[in-house]
C-alpha cells in the first residue's frame, strides 16, 4: 500500500525499506485524472506556486471553504493560503474573545466534517504520481554499552549536552562522569526518551512503473468495426456509398419518398421551357 508518511517511536532502532513506483493514469474518457502542474489559488510562503496533488488540492479547497463560511483560517494546515489570506485571522485566536473562539471553532469543526463532500469532485487525482511503499522493523535502542560512545559522538559540546546536564542537575560541583554507573544510567534514560535511530534504505535500485494505456481510440474502434464488416460481408466504404446512391436513385425514379420529377427541354432559340410532371407513389 502506498504511504506518504511513517511514524517512529523514541528509543527504538527502526529499519524502513522503501519501494518506489510511479503511476500513470488516463484522462477522460478513459479515466478521471487531471493534468495540472500547480494549484489554482494556493502559494507557498515564499510566493511560489505549489505543485498540484490531490491532498494539496483538498487542503486548498478546505481553506477556501473555511474562509468563505467562517471568515478565519485553520492554523493546523500550516497556512497553505497564508500569503493570500494574510489579513484573515486564525479561528482559534483567543485574543478575539471567548465568544468569537467558540463560534469559529464550532464553524471550523462543521467545515472539517463536510468539506470533503464538496471538494472531492473538484480535486481529481493527478495523472502522474510517485508512490512509496514502506515496510519496517524495529528493536530496542540504545544498547547500554553504546551510551557513552553516543554521548561523545552526538551530544558532547553542543546544546543537547547542556539540556541533559541541566535536566539532571549536573554542574561544576557535580560533574558528569562517564565512568559512574548512576550517571550512565541517567544518560541512558535521556537518550531513550529524546532520541531514536532510523535506517532508511532501498532494497533495490529499480522501481515499478504502472501505466494505464487506452486499449483503442475512437478512430481505431471505427477501423475495427469496418474491418469486421469487410471480412464478414464484403462491405467497404465504396460499396456502402454505391448502395446508398442506388437506393436514392430508385426512390427518386419511383417517387417512394414523395419527390416530384422535373423535365427540362430546350427549344431551338435556346429559350428554356420547363414542364413539371407529377408522379404518384407506386407503393
Q: Which of 1-15, 156-170, 200-214, 217-231: highest mean pLDDT?
A: 156-170
231 in the same domain as 175: no
Let me know if residue 191 belongs to a domain.
yes
79 in the same domain as 121: yes
**Nearest partner of 55 among 28, 83, 78, 24, judged by Cα:** 78
Let me know if residue 24 belongs to a domain.
no
8 A C-beta contact, residue 22 and residue 132: no
Residue-wise pLDDT tens digits, 203-234: 877 778 878 777 777 777 777 777 777 766 66
pTM for the model: 0.49
227 in the same domain as 181: no
Q: What percent of the chain has pLDDT over 90?
A: 3
109 in the same domain as 69: yes
What is the per-residue pLDDT for 57? 87
What 3-state class would DSSP assign to 229?
helix
Alpha-carbon distance 267 to 274, whole Å? 11
Let me know if residue 27 belongs to a domain.
no
What is the per-residue pLDDT for 273? 47
Is residue 198 very low, low, confident or very high in pLDDT (cuts 50, 70, 90)?
very high
149 in the same domain as 228: no
What is the per-residue pLDDT for 281? 43
What is the per-residue pLDDT for 277? 45
116 in the same domain as 158: no
Let me know if residue 53 belongs to a domain.
yes
* Residue of 217 and 27 predicted with greater confidence: 27
146 in the same domain as 116: no
Query: Which residue reads 464553524 in cell numbers?
Result: 107
- How many structural domains is the chain composed of? 3
Let me know if residue 166 belongs to a domain.
yes
Alpha-carbon distance 172 to 163, whole Å? 15
Boundary-marking domain end, from 98, 126, 154:
126
Let me know if residue 136 belongs to a domain.
no
Is residue 15 very low, low, confident or very high in pLDDT (cuts 50, 70, 90)?
very high
What is the per-residue pLDDT for 260? 53
What 3-state class would DSSP assign to 165?
helix
Residues 109-122: what's their mean pLDDT? 85
Let me know if residue 21 belongs to a domain.
no
237 in the same domain as 178: no
Helix (H) or strand (E) holding 19: strand 12-24
227 in the same domain as 155: no
Measured N-to-C along each axis, helices 159-167 and 181-194 cross at an angle, to the nearest 10 degrees, of 120
What 3-state class would DSSP assign to 55?
helix
**Nearest partner of 21 among 184, 202, 234, judged by Cα:** 202
What is the per-residue pLDDT for 130? 82
Assess whether pLDDT exceeds 60 at residue 79. Answer: no
Domain hosting 240: range is 218-277
Of the listed ranges 6-20, 123-137, 245-259, the least confidently predicted one is 245-259
Q: What percent of the chain has pLDDT over 70?
A: 78
What is the per-residue pLDDT for 84? 60
Let me know if residue 18 belongs to a domain.
no
Boundary-marking domain end, from 100, 126, 152:
126
Amino acid at each position: 500500500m502506498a504511504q506518504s508518511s511513517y511514524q517512529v517511536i523514541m528509543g527504538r532502532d527502526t529499519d524502513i525499506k522503501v519501494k518506489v513506483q510511479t503511476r500513470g493514469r488516463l484522462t477522460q474518457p478513459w479515466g478521471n485524472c487531471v493534468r495540472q502542474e500547480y494549484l489554482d489559488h494556493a502559494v507557498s510562503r515564499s510566493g511560489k506556486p505549489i505543485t498540484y496533488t490531490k491532498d494539496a488540492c483538498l487542503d486548498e479547497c478546505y481553506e477556501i471553504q473555511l474562509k468563505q463560511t467562517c471568515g478565519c483560517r485553520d492554523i493546523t494546515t500550516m497556512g497553505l493560503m497564508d500569503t493570500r489570506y494574510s489579513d484573515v485571522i486564525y479561528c482559534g485566536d483567543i485574543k478575539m474573545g471567548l465568544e468569537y473562539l467558540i463560534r469559529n471553532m464550532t464553524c471550523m469543526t462543521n467545515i472539517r466534517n463536510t468539506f470533503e463532500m464538496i471538494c472531492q469532485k473538484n480535486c481529481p487525482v493527478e495523472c502522474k504520481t510517485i508512490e512509496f511503499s514502506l515496510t519496517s522493523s524495529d528493536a530496542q535502542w540504545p544498547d547500554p554499552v553504546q551510551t557513552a560512545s553516543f554521548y561523545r559522538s552526538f551530544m558532547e559540546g553542543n546544546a543537547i549536552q547542556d539540556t541533559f546536564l541541566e535536566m539532571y542537575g549536573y554542574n561544576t560541583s557535580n560533574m558528569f562522569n562517564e565512568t559512574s554507573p548512576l550517571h550512565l544510567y541517567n544518560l541512558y534514560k535521556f537518550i531513550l526518551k529524546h532520541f531514536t535511530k532510523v535506517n532508511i534504505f532501498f532494497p533495490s535500485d529499480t522501481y515499478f512503473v504502472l501505466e494505464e494505456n487506452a486499449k483503442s481510440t475512437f478512430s481505431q474502434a471505427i477501423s475495427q468495426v469496418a474491418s469486421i464488416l469487410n471480412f464478414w460481408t464484403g462491405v467497404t466504404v465504396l460499396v456502402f456509398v454505391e448502395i446508398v446512391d442506388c437506393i436514392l436513385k430508385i426512390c427518386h425514379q419511383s417517387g417512394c419518398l414523395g419527390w416530384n420529377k422535373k423535365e427540362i427541354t430546350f427549344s431551338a432559340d435556346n429559350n428554356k421551357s420547363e414542364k413539371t410532371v407529377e408522379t404518384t407513389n407506386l407503393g
